[in-house]
Amino acid sequence: MHVGEEIKLRGTGAVVVTDPAGKAKAYEAGPGRTVTLEPTKVGTWTYAWENGRTGDFQVEASTSLVVSPPEPMAAVGEDEDRDKLSKLVDAEGEPVLSNDDLDALLADAAVGDTYDFNAAAAEGWRVKAARAAQMTSYSVGDLSVNNEQIFTHCMQMVDVYEGIGSSVGDTRKKLISVRVGIDYDERIQPTPFR
C-alpha cells in the first residue's frame, strides 16, 4: 500500500489505530462495519479492536499493502456473510443463534475487510454448545430431547471447523455438513429450554 491510499478495517465497535511513530487514534466502525483510513506515514501500522482482535499492515512508498494476518477469503455483502455463517452453524437449529449473535461472530472473525468463516463457525458451534449445556433434557411420549447429545454434537462441529483451520492459501478441505433435527407432533408442547 502506498501512503495516502485507502485501507478498510472491518469489525464492530471501536478500533485504536497506531501509526509508525506511535501516535494512536480511536475510530468507531461505521456503516458496513468498516473503518476507512488513509495512512500518511511509511512503516508498520497496528490496530486493536475493543473485542481484543489485533493486526497490522505495512505502508511503503513504492510497494503494495501487506496485511498481517493474511486475508482468508474475499468479502461479500453483509447479508450474504450472515447467511453463509448461519448455514455453517445451523443458526435456526436448537440452540438458536440470533442475527446479533451471527454479527458478533463475524466481527470477531474479521481480518481486514474479509472474514475467516471457519473460525467464526467454530466459535458459533462453541456458543451453541455452551447454551446446550444449560438446556433441560425432557421426554414427552415417544419424543425425547437429551441436552448431552446436543452438546456433544456441537463440540464435534467445533472440532470439524477448527480442524479445517484458516482458509488462507491453497489449503482446501471438504466439509461435510450435518443437520440434526427432531420431528415431533406439533400438538405436543414440550417444556421450554431453560
Return d(Cα 193, Cα 132) in angstroms, integer. Answer: 9
pTM for this prediction: 0.47
Identity at 150, one-letter amino acid code: I
Identity at 28, one-letter amino acid code: E
pLDDT at 41 over 50: yes
Return d(Cα 88, Cα 154) in angstroms, integer. Answer: 12
Classify the C-alpha dihedral 7-8-9-15 as positive or negative. Answer: positive
Q: Give residue-wise pLDDT tens across range 102-161.
A: 988 988 888 877 888 899 999 999 999 999 888 877 778 887 778 888 888 899 999 888
- Compute CA 84 distance to the chain's CA centroid, rounded to the nearest angstrom: 11
Distances (CA, A) of 191 to 4, 135, 157: 59, 11, 26
Taken in order of first residue, the domains within the chain and their CATH numbers are: 7-68 (2.60.40), 69-194 (no CATH)
Q: Give residue-wise pLDDT tens across range 78-98.
A: 678 889 999 999 999 888 999
